[in-house]
Structure 1
């Protein structure tokens, strides 16, 4: 008698979703939000560098074919043409992969778009570790590259709610923006938290006395999941969602950090040059002494493979985040009490 070999589970490295198997999702929220907005605003145009299907721009293309421009695999041309369209009053949304928009076409984004302050919205797919295709497609350092670009607004949405609400806000903003796109079947999370996206504003989604997780992008979803699981350990976790990386809501960060809680920043980006360092400098410059740690990707080129495996390996999964909080709470000694002033 022979035993059938176990069925091998496979995951497409390129289009794998970071959503949990039983999680509520919304299909292509960016594409549908942009198509709806374009019905009201004839000046909006969509563009892509041969990646419409993989940045959900195909939804806009099918709804408004006369306002969609396929630029081919030429990201510099994509951004240069978007700048020209903005110069004549159009509002372009130009989509490609984050690695190509940042590494390959940075000079065009900086000098053609940001320096004159044009209303061009760059949409970067596969930000951070949202593909298993290795360093050629993993934009683990896009925030570090772009935070230094003057005039540029940077948004890292958590879920479909964030994306749908961010699209009209970006179109209304008088200047260039960069959106870290979550594509395909995107989790729907923030509708349970009475949340409303506001450009440049952070939002406290949960309060908690023991730990503060300052998170952005898909890591806000993981932070909320970790907070719920840590309740079983009687650990009270607050979550501050920061959808706008630049300009950073410094007042919200400073207000939240003024406590004796453990503070961890959580981001789908290298620990160099992203949210963690932005929060750390904000806290330090405000003169706040607090216990601060970073949850993010290591400063190295990452491996290729199935996305769930990579998130576990590099500390972005909910399991990894829960374990990190537990370790930090057990390893860190309490802060020493303030010294008693000498008696007169």
Structure 2
């Protein structure tokens, strides 16, 4: 068996920025002294005149990005999710969201897979924060290929976008000729009749693996990749609910306000269905190796499989 290819989604972000920079002189990249970590340093090497290091001043960076957008540029403001969505929330809301400016926020190192950096840096609340901002699009790619495509799609979209990337190298699942990325459209990765797993980000690969384990137990699970959390592909979610009944949402984010909440908001109105949310259960993370943390919090394939087995009894 060939070895599974792995790469961090932030790598796709950096690669896409270079390609976008070559195609469009309006592309400007900002970072908060984290160019190496967010991979915006890749863009900086090719286009130093269009890269702005704002220093450890994320609020100021968002204000600068807003000004650039108002002047006709397409700015990508990059930092860790905890700082981009958390520390700079007011500026994102008032300076970018309120005037609906064409700013793209590249938020890296999201979720507990930041690992040893601990709970102060493990942002499990960013999707909830960004969902609450009117008009903010939210994209959480599953692998490096999807991250690259999402970044390009965000650049072509006119309006504010929150792009969520990870630190951890994750399996590449979209390296196939028929792969297509479309904003606001979920992707059915596996068919099944007994239940549906709705996953986002790094949990998509783990959910596919869990579905294979469930298959051996006679449980046929449909798996959907929701890369765009806002706007949610409600048509696909409702269709899955009607076809399979039980839905299980999986996310490297709090179970409050993220993908699970978006799915519940949709179904409670359009197709009342039982939904079980797998994610961070209203607790802070802790410092430790990323893979061990994902296992402890039940977000690896084994944890997803065990939880679904438990509720399927």
Which has more helix, going by share of residues? 2
Deviations 1:55-89 (A, max 9, x none): 01111111111111100000011100011111111
Q: How many corresponding residue pairs? A: 309
> Are the aligned partners of 1:56 and 1:184 in contact in 2 as well (CA < 8 Å)?
no
Match of 1:221 in 2: 205
Question: Which residue is equivalent to 1:149?
Answer: 133
TM-score by length of 2: 0.95
Structure 1 residues 35-59: Cα deviation after superposition (integer angstroms, max 9, x where no partner): 0111011110111000010001111
The answer on whether the counterparts of 1:193 and 1:205 sit within 8 Å (CA) in structure 2 is: no
**Structure-2 separation of matches of 1:116 and 1:25:** 39
The offset of 1:290, in angstroms, is 2.7
**Which residue in the other structure is 2:146 paired with?**
162
Query: Shift of residue 326 of structure 1?
Result: 1.3
- The aligned counterpart of 1:329 is 312
**Which residue of structure 2 aligns with residue 341 of structure 1?**
none
Classify the secondary structure of the residue corresponding to 1:259.
helix
For residues 264-304 of structure 1, give each alpha carbon's deviation from its aligned partner in whole angstroms, at most 9, with x where no partner exists. 00111000011111111211111x34332111111011111
- Worse-superposed segment, 205-214 or 188-197: 188-197
Q: How large is the RMSD of aligned CA atoms in angstroms?
A: 1.6
Match of residue 5, structure 2, among 14, 18, 24: 24
- Which SS does the other structure have where 1:54 is aligned? helix
The 5 A counterparts of 1:1-344 are: 22-26=3-7, 28-132=11-115, 133-183=117-167, 185-192=169-176, 194-286=178-270, 288-330=271-313
TM-score (norm 1): 0.86
Contact residue 156 and residue 179 of structure 1 kept, 8 A: yes
- Runs of 5+ consecutive residues of structure 1 not aligned to the other structure: 1-20, 331-344
Q: Distance in 2 between the 1:211 and 1:193 partners?
A: 28
Matches of 2:110 and 2:169 in 1, distance apart? 15
SS at match of 2:219: coil
In structure 2, what is the Cα distance between the partners aligned to 1:252 and 1:81? 38
CA gap of 1:30–1:194, structure 2 versus 1, over 3 A, is same
Please state whether the residue corresponding to 1:258 is helix, strand or coil: helix
Bigger radius of gyration among the two: 1
Aligned to 1:335: none
Q: C-alpha displacement at 1:259, in angstroms? A: 3.0
Residues 274 and 189 from structure 1, CA distance in 2 versus in 1: closer, same or farther, beyond 3 angstroms? same
| Counterpart-to-counterpart distance in 2, 1:118 and 1:48 | 18
SS in 2 for 1:168: helix
User: CA contact under 8 A between 2:113 and 2:293: conserved in structure 1?
Assistant: no
